[in-house]
Amino acid sequence: MSLALFDLDNTLLAGDSDYLWGVFLVEKGLVDGELYKAANEKFYQQYADGELDIHEFLNFSLNPLSQIPMPTLAGLHEEFMDQQIRPLMTALGREKIEQHKELGDTTLIITATNRFVTEPIARAFGVDDLIATEPEIIDGRYTGRVAGTPCFQRGKITRLQQWMEANGETLEDSTFYSDSHNDLPLLNIVEQPVAVDPDPQLEKTATDNGWPVISFRD
């Protein structure tokens, strides 16, 4: 059984769920609006530039989870899905997932965005499993800290290797779909890297290496 790996933000989604969750928190008045918006914009630009300090960002992005009880968070996420996420779920991304399933492939979303934000989105796309950055939970509440290795840049390889060891899978005949040059470490080790609506740096790398360049945008 082959692995079909999908990045989430700006790949299967026509937008960034991590950034949009921050926008949603500001709109709901759950964080200091001006300060949080400025920091959210700063980190998003650092990600685009390939200069993001993932631990600094996670200290910022996971902290609000620690301030809100889990049942309240669940209700907020349902609203977030309806308002921000479902309109951005690409039909062509769904079709590609289904094509791989019909071939008998195992489909996974592998994303730097934390599991709280992404798990309901992964369910909505119908993938077999999710590898995401894990927020720490103690005594039924988020602590605001990360558990284990963040699923970002080379951390995606670490997390995928852990998943493959646990599930008896390999990268033989594997495919990875991504939009971002931050995913080049993983793109370089799968058998079939695919650039999806790529950023300029990834588009150049894909072109130089003869990788497919496709779009999931309608």
The catalytic site residues sit at 7, 9
Cβ–Cβ under 8 Å, residues 152 and 9: no
Kindly give the pairing relationship between strand 106-114 and strand 175-178: unpaired
Contacts (Cβ under 8 Å, ≥6 apart) of 83: 24
Pairing mode of beta strands 175-178, 141-147: unpaired
- CA–CA distances in Å: residue 176 to residues 17, 38, 120: 19, 32, 21
Angstrom distance (rounded) from CA 214 to CA 108:
19
Torsion angle of C-alpha atoms 134, 193, 218, 48, degrees rounded to 10: 60
Distance CA 43, CA 171 (A): 31
